[in-house]
Amino acid sequence: MQPLALPHHAALLLDLDGTLLDFAPTPDAVIVPAGLIADLRAVRQRLGDALAIVTGRPIAQVDGLLGDAPFAVAGEHGTALRPAPGAAIQHIPLPAMPADWADRAMAAAARHDGALYEPKAHGFVLHYRKAPQAGQNLHAAALDILGQHPDFMVLSASMAWEVKPVAADKGSALRALMSRAPFAGRTPIYVGDDVTDLDAIHAAQEMGGVGWQVGPVFVTPGGVRTWLHDLARTI
């Protein structure tokens, strides 16, 4: 793949799983490849700190994986925002998930060998990467748990179904970050791989920037990492 040029005075915002990191059988089994953190730090320096991670993971997990490489982190689909290193984490008020949903989701996953229930701060994920035959059943279970609740939705993820608040989206996170230094006034570039990234891709485009999906542009997360490595040396 030929390296893609960044617009002048760009800000780079990146999804994590499926974009920077390859998927693993379970979320806690992902591997940070050698050299990635150094490349992120170099790109961040060359962009005047305008580098952020925008992910469905909690911010603490991003810190555990990438340390201080990104300047800002938006976690939990934009409902938790740390706009700068050491800054207090800001939370968007969201509706509480009904008390019985976690037990029902865990029971649904337990009915399929290899399926996994992952709790989130304001929802949950049902993974079927290790139980591909369970995908349709887990989708039906997620819809049944959700019922007619107006404040939550079911999203298709990579070999998973996520139940999350309607108000939580990565486009809002991108806009919030782009309103603050060092991102403000720059051209947003967003890279993501999944349905949950479309809001951020559209937001970047609406702000005069670019949104790239991993598959059509980079093929794999390895392609994204190669591109970042080249950027680290050429920006």
Residue 45, number of CB atoms within 10 A of its CB: 13
15 is catalytic: yes
Q: Which residues contact 216 (CB under 8 A, 6 or more apart)?
A: none
Q: For 69, what's the count of Cα atoms within 13 Å in the CB-facing half-sphere? A: 24
Cα–Cα distance for residue pair 192/142, rounded to 1 Å: 24
Cα–Cα distance for residue pair 150/153, rounded to 1 Å: 8
Q: How many residues are listed for the chain in this entry?
A: 235
Task: List the strands of the sheet with 187-192, edge to edge.
Answer: 90-91, 80-82, 72-75, 51-54, 10-14, 187-192, 210-213
Q: Which of 70, 47, 142, 48 is nearest to 102 (CA)?
A: 142
C-beta separation of 30 from 18 below 8 A: no
| DSSP H or E stretch at residue 196 | none
Active centre residues (catalytic): 15
